[in-house]
Amino acid sequence: MERASTGRWLRRAASLAICLAFWQVASRFKLDLGIVTFQNVPSPVDVARAGLDFLQSPRFATHVASSVKRVLAGFALAALVGIALGLVIGRSRRLRDFLQTPLEILRPIPAVAWIPLAVLMFPSSELSMIYITFTGALFPIVLNTVHGVEHVDPRLIASARSLGSTRAAMLFEVILPAAAPNIVTGLVIGMGTCWFCLVTAEMISGQFGIGYYTWESYTLQNYPEIIVGMILIGLLGLGSSLLLRAAGKAALPWHRQENSR
Amino acid sequence: MNAHSRDVGAAAGHIRADRVTIRLGAAGTFEAVSEASFEVRPGEFVCLLGPSGCGKSTLLGAMAGHIKPASGTFSVDGHPIDGPHPERGIVFQQHTLFPWKNVRDNVAFGLKMRGVKRGPRRLEADRMLELVGLAGSADRYPGQLSGGMQQRVEIARVLINQPKLLLMDEPFGALDALTRLRMQELLLDIWEQFRKTIVFVTHDIDEALLLADRIIVMQAQPGRIHEEIRVPFERPRSTDIITSGTFMQLKQHCLSLLHGDRRQDTLTRLSPLGAVRAAKA
């Protein structure tokens, strides 16, 4: 058991090391593969150097803090609205008919297309940015909640009704907990897409945010800094998804038992 | 005891079905039950026995109020059945406990719905759990219990509502033979104490003969009532009666009713196996 898990960690570390080694070699020797060329790609060593500089600069904390704040605000709103919409759509055919068409039309619109409207619709650029991260997280949360609500065992609902369940209790004591594992999945995916939309959102920003930092580095042609920004977003996204997954597991202890049964 | 024995004296739980027809499917095209008429007296234990597809579970679903008959009338104590109600408790075969609530809170659910405060409802739930022999498992989750224990919780969860009717849809169908016997004895034991009207759906002849005062035998295509059999064994019963001569006779009779003219079918279905065995030998 112990050995198997060390083996797994070794394999994970090795795959990361191989990727880095390939990147270093490819950028060092300006590898040209025809379609892909590494001629202008900064090497991992350059990136590491830029990354260390950035970590030590006083701007680092401000950039990270403003991004985290935006993502959290957009995500929290999306969670509230998404779970509520998902419950309503999953439970009521009438409301589903009413809501589904506009949502299906809005869903494929990419975050970047929202920029002009977001700027026009909201009084501050901060709110526009939060709105764009919100659109990113909303749809995975809605869809997964609907899926969870629709797949509640009908006999569970029948039992609850025969036990005298009120309408409110049906929603909060039966439907919501039964759909909770799917809702958590939606939240984890939504958290990922929130970070996914961050660079797009922070194109609007005037001065702070990891996305803004990445975008600014591109306009200033600071190539290693672009990659530093990309990696930071990746790590922050990974970290927040892991936290959320752990929180979900802690909140649904019965779900683990069910699966291991 | 006091809380439960209150309504024992009251003559309640009288079911009357008058030419009940139930249609299922999108346009109500499939006739699941055709013109079923029967009566269940207060405190009687009746089994609905029949092959799969005879509409016995559908009929039970209509008694619980989950399915509306297309025609005919269905009433309990003179009141037509209109939707589910805690006075008509239903126990399904498996997996209908709330997996996110521990055993005590599952049992206390009905009381919570009636607005009983946390303290009293937990006390009452614990008493119900003691009744079904699960006093030590109140804090466990359904996923941590065996199938037999889960069904005990189901029964406690329904009984806590002091129902007039206990409707059971093959409640022991997913259990192994030994556990099933033990559960049958437990149910008889509980029924002797409370004398609720019980309608119990099964396709197991032994089970029906062991438990019921009366067996309503159903037939498929379309689902309809075929015959009613009175089961004469004295109460309280034990599983010993299974080996008695009367039991065998009644079982034979039920078998012939269930098989009917389909005995021919069973033989032809068996013959390929026989042929294989013959070829090997």
Q: How many CB pairs under 8 A join A and B?
A: 74
Say yes or no for a CB contact (<8 Å) between B157 and A163.
yes
**Are the Cβ atoms of A163 and B64 closer than 8 angstroms?**
no
* Average pLDDT of the segment spanning A71-93: 94
* Residue B141, min C-alpha distance to chain A (Å): 7
Question: Is the Cβ pair B96, A155 closer than 8 Å?
Answer: yes
Q: What is the biggest distance separating any 2 CA atoms in chain A, rounded to whole angstroms? A: 74
Q: Is the peptide bond before A110 cis (omega within 30 degrees of 0)?
A: no
Q: Quick check: B101 and B107 in contact, CB under 8 A?
A: no
Please give the pLDDT value at position B268: 38
A185 sits in the region (left: phi over 0; alpha: psi -120 to 50; else beta) called alpha
Which of B82, B85, B98 best tests the A interface by mutation, with the highest count of A CBs <10 A? Answer: B98
Residues of B in contact with A182 (CB under 8 A): none
> Chain B within 8 Å of A53 (Cβ-Cβ)?
no
Considering only the beta carbons, identify the residue of A162, A174, A255 that sits closest to B98: A174
- The pLDDT, as a whole number, for residue A204 is 83
- Give A155→chain B minimum CA distance, Å: 6
Give residue-wise pLDDT tens across range B119-160: 999 999 999 999 999 988 999 999 999 999 999 999 999 999
Short-list A104, A131, A137, CA closest to A115? A131
Classify residue A219 as exposed, middle or buried by CB count within 10 Å of its CB (0-12, 13-18, 19+).
Answer: exposed
Nearest Cα neighbor of A212 from A220, A192, A135, A117 is: A220
Residue B275, pLDDT > 60, answer no
Q: What is the pLDDT of residue A259?
A: 52
- The pLDDT value recorded for residue A90 is 92
Query: SS3 for chain B, per residue?
Result: CHHHHCCCCCCCCCEEEEEEEEEECCCCCEEEEEEEEEEECCCCEEEEECCCCCCHHHHHHHHHCCCCCCEEEEEECCEECCCCCCCEEEECCCCCCCCCCCHHHHHHHHHHHCCCCHHHHHHHHHHHHHHCCCHHHCCCCHHHCCHHHHHHHHHHHHHCCCCCEEEEECCCCCCCHHHHHHHHHHHHHHHHHHCCEEEEEECCHHHHHHHCCEEEEEECCCEEEEEEEECCCCCCCCHHHHHCHHHHHHHHHHHHHHHHHHHHHHHHHHHHHHHHHHHHC
pLDDT value of position B265: 45
Highest mean pLDDT, choosing among A31-40, A83-92, A193-202, B10-19: A83-92
Bond into B51 cis (ω within 30): no
Within 8 A of B85 by CB-CB distance, chain A residues are: 162, 164
Determine the residue of chain B that is closest to A252 in CA distance: B100
Q: Rounded CA gap, A46 and A24, in Å?
A: 10
What are the chain A neighbours of B112 within 8 Å (beta carbons)?
A: 169
Label residue B266 by pLDDT band (50, 70, 90): very low
Nearest beta carbon to residue A177 from set B89, B100, B143:
B100
Cα–Cα dist A100/A111, whole Å: 20
- Mean of per-residue pLDDT scores for chain A: 89
Decide which of A260 and B47 is more confident.
Answer: B47
Determine whether the interchain pair B113/A165 forms a contact, defined as Cβ–Cβ distance below 8 Å: yes
How far away is chain B from the Cα of A51, in angstroms, using its nearest Cα? 46
Say whether B90 and A162 touch across the interface (CB within 8 A): yes
Residue A8 to residue B179: CA distance in whole angstroms: 43
Nearest CA in chain B to A158: B66
Q: What is the pLDDT of residues B199-240, one digit of tens each?
A: 999 999 999 999 999 999 998 888 888 889 999 888 888 878
Q: Do A164 and B161 touch (CB under 8 A)?
A: yes
**A164 and B66: CB-CB below 8 Å?**
no
Of A162, A169, A252, the CB nearest to B84: A162
Query: Which residues does chain B have within 8 Å of residue A255's beta carbon, measured at their own beta carbons?
Result: 99-100
B92–A155 CB contact, under 8 Å = yes
Kindly identify which residue of chain B lies nearest to residue A168, measuring between CA atoms. Answer: B113
Residue A100 banded pLDDT, cuts 50, 70, 90: confident
Q: Is A16 in CB contact (< 8 Å) with chain B?
A: no
Cβ burial, residue A187 (10 Å; 0-12/13-18/19+): buried
* Chain B hits for A164, Cβ within 8 Å: 85-86, 110, 113-114, 161
Looking at every residue in chain B, the average pLDDT score rounds to 85
Mutate to test the interface with B, among A153, A156, A163 (most CBs of B within 10 A): A163
A161: contact with B, CB 8 A cutoff: yes
Q: How far apart are CA A86 and CA A145, in angstroms?
A: 5
Distance of alpha carbon A144 from alpha carbon A89, whole angstroms: 11
Tell whether A169 is within 8 A of chain B (Cβ).
yes
CB-CB neighbours of B187 under 10 Å: 24
Separation in Å, CA of A184 to nearest CA in chain B: 15
Per DSSP, A32 falls in state: B
Smallest Cα distance from A169 to chain B, Å: 8
Residue A258: closest CA among chain B residues belongs to which residue?
A: B143
What are B102-117's pLDDT values in tens digits?
Answer: 999 999 999 999 999 9
Could you report the per-residue pLDDT of A2-36, keeping only the tens digit for each?
567 888 999 999 999 999 999 999 988 888 888 88
